[in-house]
Amino acid sequence: MEITVLERPGSEATIVALRDELDMSNAPRLHAVLGDLLGRSVNRIVVDLSGLTFCDSMGLSALAVTHNACVAAGGYLRMAGPSPFLLHILTVVGLRGRMPIYTSAQAACAGDPAGLLDDPAGTPGDPAELPRDPAELRDPAELTEGDGGRRSPTDR
């Protein structure tokens, strides 16, 4: 996976562009890059997903945890340009509607409401409801039919 960080002086948002596949083998690297930005008080981040071809639960966790940290610091993490596949994944795992997703990095940087992808359920969600601990984000494959998809991290 390629990670490109575009810090633009005078710009409100820092863009983190991802290419190729984001999975358990490289998600820690993304988490480290995002953590470095947060450590330098960069709390307005746009993650450009337009070059991403795959993302697993570890990658989603890195995005959700960083989103929470940005919001807690008075900023944001906005996602931009997801493929239809990735948008479907974000919807299925419940992150769509809880994290802002834009059609493009340009729209996300500007916070352009016209570029915001609406949640198909029409519910914007509350960012405070996102799991704070990466362990709380569950891989859908781990869920069983009997639990209705609702398990706490202690139920493992």
pLDDT at 11: 78
* Tens of pLDDT, residues 7-54: 987 778 999 999 999 999 999 999 999 999 999 999 999 999 999 999
Please check the confidence at residue 106 and state whether its pLDDT lies above 50: yes
Sign of CA dihedral 117, 47, 13, 64: positive
Q: Would you tell me how many other CB atoms lie within 10 Å of the CB of residue 103?
A: 16
Neighbours of 44 (CB within 10 A): 18
Q: Where are the domains of the chain?
A: 2-155
* Pairing assessment for the beta strands 76-80 and 2-6 based on DSSP bridges: unpaired
What per-residue confidence (pLDDT) applies to 10?
74
Task: Work out the percent of the chain whose per-residue pLDDT is above 70.
Answer: 76
- Calculate the alpha carbon distances from 29 to 12, 19, 68, 82, 136 in Å: 24, 13, 18, 20, 20
Q: Say if residue 123's pLDDT is above 50.
A: no
DSSP state of 40: T
Q: Which residue has the higher pLDDT, 151 or 33?
A: 33
Mean pLDDT of the chain: 82
pLDDT band for 147, please (50, 70, 90 cuts). Answer: very low
What local confidence, expressed as pLDDT, does residue 12 receive?
Answer: 87
The pLDDT of residue 90 is 95
Least confident residue range of 3-7, 44-48, 89-93, 117-121: 117-121
Average pLDDT over residues 95-107: 94
Q: Which two tokens stand for residue 1?
A: 């996976």
Q: What CATH class is the domain 2-155?
A: alpha beta
CA dist., res. 81 & res. 103, Å (int): 5
